[in-house]
Amino acid sequence: MRLPHFLRLVTGQLPEDNPFGIVAEFDNPGALLHAAEAVRKAGYRAFDVHSPFPIHGMDEAMGVRRTILPFLVLGGGLTGCVGALAMQIWMMAYDYPLVISGKPLMSIPAYIPVTFELTILLSGFAAVGSMLFLNFLPMLYHPLFKHEPFRKATDNAFFLSIEARDKQFDVEGTRSLLESIGGRNITLLEP
C-alpha cells in the first residue's frame, strides 16, 4: 500500500537522494502574498507559505479551499446533544426511575442544562481534534526544521516552500521561478 506522503516522510520511505523540495525567503507579507499568487499561477499545487501570523488574503492567493472543519464540529455538537439527552432520559426514567418532589420521570426542561453543556464540550473537542487531524499535527519532524534560517518563520521571516512531489517540480526551473519573483536564500531541502 502506498502511504500518504507525510507518512512516507516520517517513516523514512523517501529515497535519500530525492529532495523534499525547495524553500525561498521573502521580505514581507506583501511580497509573500504576490509570490504565492505567482507560484499558483505557474501551475504548482504542492506548495506552502510559512509566516509568523496568518496573512489576510493568502487563502485566495494560494487557492486554499475552505476547510470542512465546521461540519466536523457540527457532528461533535450533535453527538453531545443527542448523547446527553439519551443518557439522562435512560438513567432517570428507565434504568433507575426515582420520583423526586413529584416531578415527572421524563423532566425534559430539567435535562436541558446538562444537554447544553455536553453539546458545547463535544463541539470543543471536535474543533480541536479536527484542527489537529486536518493539519496532520502533531508532526515533530519536518524537513524544513533542518533549514537554519527557517527558525525565523515564527519570528519575523516569511517563507515559501515547493515540494518535490509536485508534477511541475524541477530543481532548476523551480529555482529560477523563485528567483524571478524575488525569493532570497533559495535552498534545496533534504528529506
Partner 1 sequence: MAVAHTNPPLQQAPPDEPLVAGGHDFASATETVSRVAESRTPKGWYVAFAIAVTFLGVLAVVISYLLWEGVGVWGVNNPVGWGWAIVNFVWWIGIGHAGTLISAILFLFRQKWRTSINRFAEAMTIFAVACAGIFPGIHVGRVWVAYWLFPIPNQMGIWPQFRSPLLWDVFAVSTYATISVLFWYVGMVPDLATLRDRAKTPLRRIAYGIFALGWRGSHRHWHVYEVAYLVLAGVSTPLVLSVHSVVSFDFAVSVLPGWHTTIFPPYFVDGAIFSGFAMVMTLMIPARQWFGLKDFVTLRHLENMNKILLATGMIVGYAYSTEFFIAWYSGNLYERFTFIHRALGPYAWAYWIMISCNVISPQLFWFRRLRRSIPVMFVVSIFVNIGMWFERYVIVVTSLASDFLPSSWDYFSPTLIDVLTYLGSFGLFFTLFLLFLRFLPVLALAEIKAIMPQAHAHHGHEPAHAGHATE
CB of 116 to partner 1, least distance (A): 6
Residue among 3, 13, 70, 86 that touches partner 1 (CB under 8 A)? 70
For the beta carbon of residue 86, count every other beta carbon within 10 angstroms.
11
If one asks whether residue 59 binds partner 1 (CB under 8 A), the answer comes out as yes
CA gap 87, 119 in Å, rounded: 13
Q: Chain centroid to CA 119: how far? A: 23
Q: Which are the contacts of 182, defined by CB distance < 8 A and separation ≥ 6?
A: 26, 27, 31, 35
Single residue of 3, 86, 139, 171 touching partner 1 by CB under 8 A: 139
Q: Which stretch binds partner 1 (CB under 8 A): 14-22, 151-159, 163-171, 177-185?
A: 151-159
Cβ(129)–Cβ(68) below 8 Å: no
Half-sphere exposure of 173 (CA within 13 A, CB side): 10
Is-contact 78 115, C-beta < 8 A?
no
- Among positions 130, 174, 187, 189, the unique one binding partner 1 when judged by CB under 8 A: 130
Q: Which residues 93-122 are close enough to bind partner 1 by CB under 8 A?
A: 95-96, 98, 100, 103, 107, 110-111, 113-114, 116-118, 120-121
Cell numbers describing residue 188: 534545496
Q: Which residues make up the interface to partner 1 (CB under 8 A)?
A: 28-30, 33, 36, 48-59, 62, 64, 67, 69-70, 73, 77, 87-88, 91-92, 95-96, 98, 100, 103, 107, 110-111, 113-114, 116-118, 120-121, 123-125, 127-128, 130-132, 134-135, 137-142, 144-145, 150-156, 159
